[in-house]
Structure formats: C-alpha cells, structure tokens
Structure 1
Amino acid sequence: MLDSSTHLLEQPVLLAGHSRTVSDLNQEPDHRTKPQGSASVTTPIDAINKCIRDIEQASLAAVGQSLPSRDDISLEALQEQLTSAVQEIGHLIDPISTAARGEAAQLGHKVTQLASYFEPLIVASVGLASKLTDHQQQMNILDQTKTLSESALQMLYAAKEGGGNPKAAHTHDAIAEAAQLMKEAVDDIMVTLNEAASEGGMVGGMVESIAEAIGRLDEGTPPEPDGSFVDYQTTMVKFSKAIAITAQEMMTKSVTCPEELGGLASQVTVDYSQLAHQGRLAASTAEPEEVGTDLPYHVPTHSF
C-alpha cells in the first residue's frame, strides 16, 4: 500500500511515467480500420481507472496517517498545480458532452485530452494532502479528487455509449447527467482549494483563477455550444446576482466575522469563473453578430 503512495510522490519516476501515459493516450485508433467514437474512449477509461486506484491507495495511507510528505516542492506550488489541472478538466466537460452526442470524429481527441490531466491531478492532490497538517482537510482533498475522477469515468462510459452518434438519442440524457456531476465535482474541489488558500494567506491562487477567467474572455468563444442564447443569458444573470450578494456579505463580514471571508472569497472566485465561461457561450449564440462581439466586454473585470 505504502509503496504505491510513495511512488506517487517520487517526482522523477512520476514524470517519466506521465510522459509514457500521455504518449500512449495520444496514439489514437486508426479510424480507417476501427469505428470512430466508442472505440477511441477505451484507453482513456483505462487511464482514469488507474488514477482512481492510485488515489485510493493514497487515501488508505492517509487514513493510517502514514502518507509520506513531499519535501521537494512547496505547498503553494502543489496547490497551483492542482488548481490548474482541475480547471483544465472543467473546461473540457462541455466539449466532450457535445462530441459524445454528435461529433464522433472529435470524441477521441477530447477524451484523450481529458485523461491526460488526471495523472497530474492525482500527483498534485496526493502531494498537497501530504503537506497538510489538518487531517480532515487532508481527507477532504483526497476524497474530492476521487469523486472528480469517478465522475469523469462515468462521463467517459456515457460518452462511449453515445459514441458521437446524434441518432443515439437514448444515451443523451445519461451524457448530460454525467456532465453535470462532473461540473459539481469541479466546483466542490475548487471551493476547498480556494478556502485552503485563503486560510493559509495564499490568495494568489484565487487572483490567478480570476485573471485566467478574464483572459479567456479575449480568446473568442468556445466551440459548439449546446444551449441557446437565452439559456446562457439566464445563467449569467444568476451568477452576476450571486457575486453581488456575496460581495455585499463580504463587506459585512469584514467587520463582524473576518474569519468567514476566506469561504466567501472562494465562492466569488468560482462564480466569476462560471460567469466568464457562460459569457463566452452567450457570445457564440448571440444575434446579431455585433452583440456577440461586444458581450464579453460586459462581464465585469474592473473589480478584480
């Protein structure tokens, strides 16, 4: 049990293994001899299954309080690595959902891309947990990482069933449900990470997350939105109101309960990232085109 956990914490071996994993994952099936869609999901499923086994071994070590600490890297660096991996995974949820329901040629590439982030996710999660002194926080990070991995596995199984076939309508509800579970898992772990950053005085991660969301507003719209402009506009209004309410609460708590500011700041970070993402989706579905071009600039950035 401990050998497996220790292996996760040995960076040179880890990087070599990760390189092989990514290399293997990038070897897409030859679509001339194998069907597109379903077949290309098998290798990523195997990769994420392995990651789940690894996080389970680390969790067992943590329960026994025998998880060896990573001494070759700082807590802040591990937190940044984990945050980056979670965000990249989150950004792939909608593209995979879209591909699984009607873009067989894109499905293999998208799921391979998703799977490539999971070994770095597990490594950073185990490393971060190993450096936390609070046992409950340690277990929260590991449990939420496992939940995210399991939700991704469910998403890949649903995507494999759909195979990118628009006529396989009986699979589309399962794909949508799996996507929603993944989004919730991403949000949960981001809240935990941001709260830990705030409690430790490390607000850089939250600032960086907001800055990245702002930067993405200038990147153009994400491909193939699967909702309507009204859907995205409604969601933008919801997140904008949530941010305004939380900001007002932060002003009050700064005087009455400053110890609660970390959690509130974390929630603003998560909500703003969602607002920016929905703004890009809204821009891609807006009519006339001029409205879509201007829309991202109406997502507030001056307060950050």
Structure 2
Amino acid sequence: MTFLFSTRILKIIGILIGVFLLIFSGISSILFGLTDISWEMVLHAYTNFDGSNEQLIIKTSRVPRMLVAIAVGVSSAIAGALMQALSRNPLAAPDIFGLNAGASFFIVFSVAFLGTSSLSSFIWIAFLGAGISALAIYLLGSVGRNGLTPMKLTLAGASIAALFSSLTKGILTLNEKALDEVLFWLAGSVEGRKLEMLFPVLPFMIFAWLASFFMAKQVNTLAMGEDVAKGLGQRTIWVKTITWMLIVLLAGSSVAVAGPIGFIGIVIPHIARAMVGIDHRWIIPYCAILGAILLLLADIGARFVIMPKEVPVGVMTALVGTPFFIYIARKGFSKS
C-alpha cells in the first residue's frame, strides 16, 4: 500500500511542513477575527503594554484561545489514534465511546443539582466524568471470557455513550436553568477559555503526549491482534491498561477545558495513517500536529460564519467530521 510519505526522510519533511503550517495557523488565529489585529499590536502587547482594547484582546482572548485550541487539538487527535488502535475500530474516538458524554453528564448534573456555575469548576468535574466513563467502559469490556476484546470494548463504549447522553438530555429537559448555563459549553468551544483554565490540566496533557509516543511501539504490537502480541511476549493487559489511562488523561483534560468537541479523534488518525502508514511512532506526532491545525482552522472559521457572533467550534468540527464519519462507516460496512 502506497502512502503519501513512504520513506523516513519524507516523513521528517512532512513533520517540518506540518510544524510550519501549525505556526502559520497559530499566527492566523491571533490576527484574524472581529477586531483587526496587526503584528505590531501583538509585539507591543508583550513589550510595551498600554492597556488599549486591541492589546487586551490579544492578551486575554486571542493568545489564550490559540494555545487552548492547540492543546485540545493535540490531545483529542492522539486520544482518537490510541482508541482506534486499542479497539481496532476505525470509528473509535472519545466522543463516540462515551468519554465526552460522561463528562457532559457530570457537568450538567453539577449545574442542575449542585449549583455549580464557574468554568473553572467545570474543569475538574468534567475530568472526573470522563475518567469514570472510561473506567466503566474498561470494566464492562473486560467482563467475561477472553477479557478485554475490541468487540466488547466497542459495545461497552457505545452503551455508556447512549446512557450518559440520555441522562444528560433528561436533566436538561427538566431543568431549563441548567440548559441555559451549559448549552454553549456542551457545543464545544475555545472562546472565552483562559490560560488559568488550561494550566491545571496542561501537565496531564504533556505527560500523556510524551507517554503516548513512548508507548507507540507497544501499541503497534497490540494492534496486530491479541494472539500475535502475546506470542511476541507482550503483557497485553498492562499495555491495554496504560493505553486506556493515557486516553483518559487526553480526552478528560480536553473536555474539561473546551467542552465535548467531536470528530477530531475520528478524522485526524485516518489522515495520519494515509500519510505515514500504520506505525504509531509516526502516527502519534502527525496526529498531534494535524489535530492542532484542524482545531485552529475550525476556530478561525467559527469567527466568520455569523459575524459579529461566533459559532461554537464544535459545530465547525462537526461540519468537517460528519461527512468523513459517514465515509469511513460506509467503507467499513462495504468490506464486511
């Protein structure tokens, strides 16, 4: 099978191109929007701050949302790649397997019944919800003969997603106050996110990024199948457990900061595999770069669709991801 970057040199060149595009996208995220921003304004905001409206927008809005978009894009894409390898399911992703739904349920529950209202409080509640969802999926998928298998993991994920989604809709139907307060968060957005919201979960993200890269070789072996991995001497239960913990850190921290932004975890791993093949030592860094670029571009587009208002970035990623999801689903069914 032919890939876009088939040799090591080409893959390195691809990463360098990706880094350039990421930098360009990040700069564009700072400059473009309802308020016109120039390079000089950006430099003066950090070297000669005068309190002007433009400089305040740069320091309190544009730069923080750019950094949040990069962190969430990287984490969501890597989480999707790991989930697809672990479940051997091309449609696996944190939003499909219920991690986002679990985080959303806990947020809505805390607003409706505990009176939680600050976004800073949402961080840890969402992180807890994603972790509990992941634990439930892992335990359900491990029950029975042969332990954790891709099919049982997929069924458990779909069941947990349906359960928490139904519970969330039930609470929102009965409590209009909760609906008003969390509706924009549930759509997924990086608007209004401050660095104070990113910093508490950033260490978890960075640790998971690095650990995912160092686990890539073991993930490659596991992706070949349970029997093959055991035949090669791999302790598959530990690899699955560690990989699942990394998925929790990546998906949970992403949802905690930006809400349940979907489809990045589905779309990006497929694009990465089309570029570099099935080696996760390359898939993971490509996912990191491409995930950040996609979310940055989606956020830029969200500012212009209904200007002067903004569309939640989760809506923009859905516009890109839904056709791709349908394509992958049809392709999978046609082979079965």
Q: Tell me if TM exceeds 0.5.
A: no
TM-score, structure 2 length as denominator? Answer: 0.31
